């Protein structure tokens, strides 16, 4: 059998590998495969392809994250027929060496894997431990209480649609994001960059809403869905700094109920999200919401 050779990424490799790999059964897998691309220096990326007899059979990349600079992203995928022969380990070692040569010597790695998959097993064998767990939780339309006019007239509650370019929203989102990512601290980004990464049209943001009490922002949501789509609207759901004060769970539930009144929504929940994940876990326990697909783990060495 011809020997395996490692080489840089070339034009057409995506098509060749796509014919060998099964379809991506999760958004995380599709996003990871999209990271397989030509080498770059700013931001840093190196992609390595393994070929046998001139045909690609595996690939992987290591890349810099401008939002989370303390670790490099890494991804390795091997065709089913070539697994269990040490090829994945060989590619991972080559990617570490490429990062070292580019000035990232000693920089730790992170990866995304789905629970119960060969990827999770591979990561564990190579010393990667779980940093965070993420799940997609779907809330059907109309299953939650919806605030009516009397709720707004007789209380200090207010739900407001805001522009995704709002400075107040950007500040609230970034404060919340830094708080829930204590396990992988983000870079010190300016608000313009934060807005571009999370709230711009290029990022997929399509709308936003905030809930206030006594005019103070308590929770917020950003939608990432095309108008008119029959699929559940994907939401980023967060809270202001006073995450665990009394009543904040009610605020999250009130905003979620308003947004899911007529159309289903799906919320990506990390275990570090505090009151947001507690609210959604409670809905799942009551069969009011459901977990969609397998949990995704962020693992790091």
Give the domain CATH number at 24: 3.40.630.30
- Same domain for 163 and 252, yes or no, is yes
At 126-185, the pLDDT tens digits run 999 999 999 999 999 999 988 766 666 656 889 999 999 999 999 999 999 999 999 999
The pLDDT of residue 269? 96
Q: Tell me what pLDDT residue 33 has.
A: 87
**What average pLDDT values come out for the chain (301 residues) when binned by 10 residues?**
88 88 69 90 96 92 96 93 89 97 95 91 96 97 83 76 96 96 95 97 95 92 81 93 65 95 95 94 98 94 89
| Residue 300 domain-assigned (yes or no) | no
Q: Which of 100, 127, 154 is the last residue of a domain?
A: 127
Q: Classify residue 19: in a domain, yes or no.
A: yes
pLDDT of residue 157: 84
Question: Which of 75, 92, 127 is the endpoint of a domain?
Answer: 127
CATH of the domain at 179: 3.40.630
Question: 109 and 143: one domain?
Answer: no
Assess whether 45 and 117 both reside in one domain: yes
> DSSP string covering 242-299, please?
-TTSTTHHHHHHHHHHHHTSSS-EEEEEETT-THHHHHHHHHHHTTSSEEEEEEEEEE
pLDDT digits (tens, 9 = 90+) for 235-248: 999 998 765 554 58
What is the model's pLDDT at position 243? 53
Q: With respect to residue 301, please indicate whether it lies within any of the assigned structural domains.
A: no
Question: What does the pLDDT read at residue 83?
Answer: 86
Asked whether residue 76 falls in the same domain as residue 159, the answer is no
Q: For residue 46, give both structure tokens.
A: 């190196």
Same domain, 73 and 162: no
Q: What's the domain count of the chain?
A: 2
Residues 142 and 277 in one domain: yes
Are 141 and 278 found together in one domain?
yes
Domain hosting residue 153, numbered range: 136-294
- CA-CA distance, 83 to 2, in Å (whole number)? 16
Asked if the structure places residue 299 within a domain, the reply is no
Nearest residue to 286 (alpha-carbon basis) of 143, 146, 157 = 143
132: β partners: 298
pLDDT of 82 reads 81
- Assess if residue 238 is contained within a domain: yes
| Same domain assignment for residues 80 and 173 | no
């Amino acid at each position: 059998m011809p020997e395996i050779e490692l080489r840089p990424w070339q034009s057409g490799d995506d098509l060749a590998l796509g014919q060998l790999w099964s379809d991506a059964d999760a958004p995380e897998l599709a996003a990871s495969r999209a990271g397989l691309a030509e080498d770059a220096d700013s931001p840093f990326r190196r992609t390595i392809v393994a070929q046998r007899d001139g045909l690609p059979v595996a690939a992987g990349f290591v890349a810099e994250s401008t939002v989370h600079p303390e670790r490099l992203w890494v991804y390795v995928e091997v065709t089913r027929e070539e697994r269990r022969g040490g090829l994945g380990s060989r590619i991972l070692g080559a990617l570490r060496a490429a990062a070292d040569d580019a000035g990232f010597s000693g920089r730790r790695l992170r990866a995304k894997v789905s629970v119960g998959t060969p990827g999770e097993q591979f990561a564990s064998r190579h010393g990667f431990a779980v940093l965070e767990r993420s799940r997609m939780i779907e809330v059907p339309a109309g299953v939650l209480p919806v605030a009516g006019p009397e709720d707004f007239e007789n209380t200090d509650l207010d739900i407001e649609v805001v522009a995704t370019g709002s400075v107040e929203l950007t500040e609230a989102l970034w404060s919340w994001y830094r708080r829930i990512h204590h396990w992988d601290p983000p870079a010190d980004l300016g608000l313009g960059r934060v807005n571009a990464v999370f709230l711009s049209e290029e990022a997929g943001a399509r709308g936003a809403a905030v809930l206030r009490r006594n005019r103070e922002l308590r929770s917020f949501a950003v939608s990432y869905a095309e108008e008119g789509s029959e699929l559940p609207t994907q939401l980023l759901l967060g809270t202001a700094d006073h995450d665990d004060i009394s009543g904040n769970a009610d605020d999250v539930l009130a905003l979620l109920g308003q947004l899911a009144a007529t159309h289903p929504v799906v919320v990506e929940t990390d275990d570090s999200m505090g009151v947001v994940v507690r609210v959604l876990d409670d809905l799942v326990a009551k069969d009011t919401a459901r977990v969609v697909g397998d949990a995704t783990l962020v693992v790091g060495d």
